[in-house]
Amino acid sequence: MIWTVAISLLGLMALSIPVGIVLFILGIGVGEFYSAFPLLRGLGQVVWSSSNSSTLIAIPLFVLLGEILVRGGVAERTYAALDKWLSWMPGGLVHANIATATMFSATSGSSVATAATVATVAMPQAERLNYDPRLFSGAIAAGGTLGILIPPSINLIVYGFLTETSIPRLFSAGLVPGLLMALAFVAVTAVICWLRPALGGPSRGFSWAERARSLTQLLPIVLLFMVVIGSIYAGWATPTESAAIGVVMAGLIAVLLGDGLGPKALSEALHGTIRISAMIMLVVAGASFLNFAMTSAGLGRQLTELIEGSGLSPFGTLLLVVALYLVLGFFIETLSLMVATIPIIVPIMAGLGYDKIWFGVLMIVLIEMALITPPVGLNLFVVQGARKSGSISEVIMGAIPYVLVMICMIALLIAVPGLALWLPSKL
């Protein structure tokens, strides 16, 4: 049954069937062929119970928060301000790509939305200033991946919901590795452009007066992040309540410091939120039914027996799981990969003594790589769509140095679990 389900999953996705529908089809198939019970009769109850959680309300709210900042013109002003502060480094505007992606990761919670936002704003600058298209676009694709690691992260919310793990602790666990990876991206970019200056575009400088004036565009975003995340850790608000506060603050920032939030912009923000949230909830509901069917059919027991019979140590099992995610990430979209594997993999890893908070962060970094590795790397296609010229192979080549950074972060998290666990233990 294990291999049948895995091959069927890949085969149905290869037919370009929506992932949520694929998960429902597999759940129905498992119930019909591998279970003596009429599992299809439980479909309604499973879908309702998987959606009937106040925690999940945070997902559309965080999506709306990011949509408001994008549609309200805040992204362009943030990018221009960061350019003034970082253009002195080797690589110039490339660092603004990474820094802007980091800041919007701390507000939107979505990697694809972050990559799309930065790519839309940055690509005209790359063509105007004659930057190397590979490194420039690769940095945007890689910087966008931080959206699912730096809190608030939609993927961490889904992980916490599926594993019944504290979402505030997951947020705090992702903060240090996320910021370290952002700094590593900047460092790698600086080294590459120091070795090959032609890749970093023209040298530009800004006065301290210009930089000081640009702070009016940066401070509101920092304040937004501090209020949203700080209210959670201070115990003043749940993640759902803090997301609602963030939406109100984002609207005020867009009105006061952006291009405003007229009827058209607000309509686009709401439509974008509905599309993204509906896709996420369809995948979550489908994965919940598939997990219900596989558990009822005994797949969890089969996997446990398979791993125990392999004779691997807990560390060997961890390496096997890491390799599994690296391979699956080439073919399966990130959220789909998470919800399809979490109910199976996480109980096994927890049974081996691994902390679920730490493993959640490790899993996020692993699936971040899936966003910038072909053939299904979503961020690669998002950036290529914003470029409107050249081939996607240029984006892929530009992302390779950042993939190597992620591999180093995976090794570092395994060697030093405290990177993810230190901050949750203090809070």
Residue 2 lies in a domain: no
Q: Count of domains in the chain?
A: 1
CA distance 56 to 73: 27
Look at 7-11, 265-269, 315-319 and tell me which has the smallest mean pLDDT.
Answer: 7-11
Residue 4: inside a domain, yes or no? no
Residue 115 lies in a domain: yes
Is 184 within a domain? yes
Residue 333 predicted with pLDDT over 80: no
In a domain, 9, yes or no: no
Q: What letters, b where the CB count within 10 A reaches 16 and e where it falls short, cover 286-319?
A: bbbbbbbbbbbbebbeebeeebeeeeeeeeebbe
CB atoms within 10 A of CB 359: 24
Cα distance between residue 358 and residue 369, in whole Å: 17
d(CA 157, CA 148): 10
pLDDT the model gives residue 108: 66
Give the pair of three-digit tokens for residue 359.
Answer: 């493993």
Whether residue 145 is contained in a domain is answered as: yes
> Would you say residue 68 lies in a domain?
yes
Domain that holds residue 396: 15-26+38-425
Whole-number pLDDT of residue 325: 87
- Residue 7 belongs to some domain of the structure: no
pLDDT at res. 89: 84
- Tens digits of residue pLDDT in 25-55: 888 888 777 777 777 788 888 888 777 777 7
pLDDT at residue 180, rounded to an integer: 93
pLDDT of the residue at 417? 93
pLDDT category at 414 given cuts 50, 70, 90 is very high
Q: Which residue reads 């992040």 in tokens?
A: 225
Mean pLDDT of 291-308: 72
Global pTM value: 0.81
